[in-house]
Amino acid sequence: MSFVKYLRRDSLLQLAGKRSLSRSCMLQTCRTLIIETAPPESVKLNRLSGSDSGIVEVNLDRPVAKNSINKEMLKGLQTTFETIHQDSSARVVMITSLVPGVFCAGADLKERRTMSPSEVHTYVNSLRYMFSFIEALSIPTIAAIEGVALGGGLEMALSCDLRICGENAVFGLPETGLAVIPGAGGTQRLSRLVGRSVSKEFIFTGRKIDAREAAKKGLVNFCVAAGEAHKKAMEVAQQINNKGPMAIKMAKKAIDEGIETNMASGLELEEMCYQKLLNTEDRLEGLAAFAEKRKPRYTGK
């Protein structure tokens, strides 16, 4: 899996700059552009060490614009998550903000005003595919949310497996107030998470909801005291990090792919995922650790 597989062919052509290039050449050109572009300071990658080795933080840090996502920040997200995808030691990802009182205010509307319709189309497509890339990572992702998560910021959180917020969090998809709709996955992921009717009311009105209502509607997994979202997210990440990494990956695959099909097909998928774990070293280590009453030492093999 790579971010480039989510890009449409016309976007790849624009990146490559030559419509005569073959598809394989265009894909390689796009991959090179993404990998060789150094992440801007607005996106920081932090690999934890020691007992927390395997936990990776993606820190959003664009205080001048409340972490709103401009083209540069989008490139940083692309590069950062491509790096995580290629890192076999990564077991769980946390998306956090280094800006007090804000998770992400969405797209950078000041930059948006300077774009042509075709440029907006390319940007929104790239944003949508970026969030699809996050969603499709084989390892769990957690959004730790303090303050506002609006528009594309909420859509990014929705692409994560888990969402943990502080009581000061505010959520909203205000796009209809700007005469557009959530275009980076919001209409689809929100509906699958909270249901069709709630999603329609939320998007039609564009209203903001607080942390308590978000928890009540199932938008977030945990609502904790303001300022404690990162701490709680770390606790959950540590719990995941201690489990068999291959089992976590197979569990995510079974849930994500199975829920989109019928029960019989879902059970077949579950059986296939379980079968892949039977001959692993980790499974034998888990049984041995249980028998010996010690903490298992999983290697992901």
Of the candidates 16, 105, 107, 211, the residue annotated as catalytic is 107
Of the candidates 152, 153, 166, 244, the residue annotated as catalytic is 152
The packing angle between helices 23-36 and 9-16, to 10°, is 70
| Mean pLDDT value across residues 159-182 | 96
152 is catalytic: yes
| Burial of 260 from C-beta contacts in 10 A (0-12 / 13-18 / 19+) | exposed
175 is catalytic: yes
155 is catalytic: yes
- Residues 8-51: pLDDT tens digits? 434 333 433 433 334 344 334 334 444 344 444 899 999 999 99
260 is catalytic: no
- Residues 208-247: pLDDT tens digits? 999 999 999 999 999 999 999 999 999 999 999 999 999 9
Provide the 10 A C-beta neighbour count for residue 244.
21
The length of the chain is 301
Domain 245-292 in CATH: superfamily? Answer: Lyase 2-enoyl-coa Hydratase, Chain  A, domain 2 (1.10.12.10)
Residues of the chain above pLDDT 70, percent: 87
Question: What confidence category does residue 290 fall into, taking pLDDT thresholds of 50, 70 and 90?
Answer: confident
Q: What angle do CA 186, 147, 113 make, to 5 degrees?
A: 55
Give the pLDDT of residue 7: 42
Of the candidates 155, 172, 215, 254, the residue annotated as catalytic is 155
Of the candidates 57, 146, 175, 228, the residue annotated as catalytic is 175
Measured CA to CA, the distance from residue 194 to residue 221 in angstroms comes to 12
Question: In sequence order, what DSSP letters do the residues of 86-122 get, joined into one string?
Answer: H-TT--EEEEEESSTTEEE--B-HHHHTTS-HHHHHH
Same CATH fold assignment for domains 43-242 and 245-292: no
- E-strand stretches of 7-113: 43-47, 55-60, 92-97, 102-104
In a 3-state reduction of DSSP, which class is residue 69?
strand
Domain 43-242 in CATH: superfamily? Answer: 2-enoyl-CoA Hydratase; Chain A, domain 1 (3.90.226.10)
| Mean pLDDT value across residues 63-75 | 92
Predicted structure pTM score = 0.84
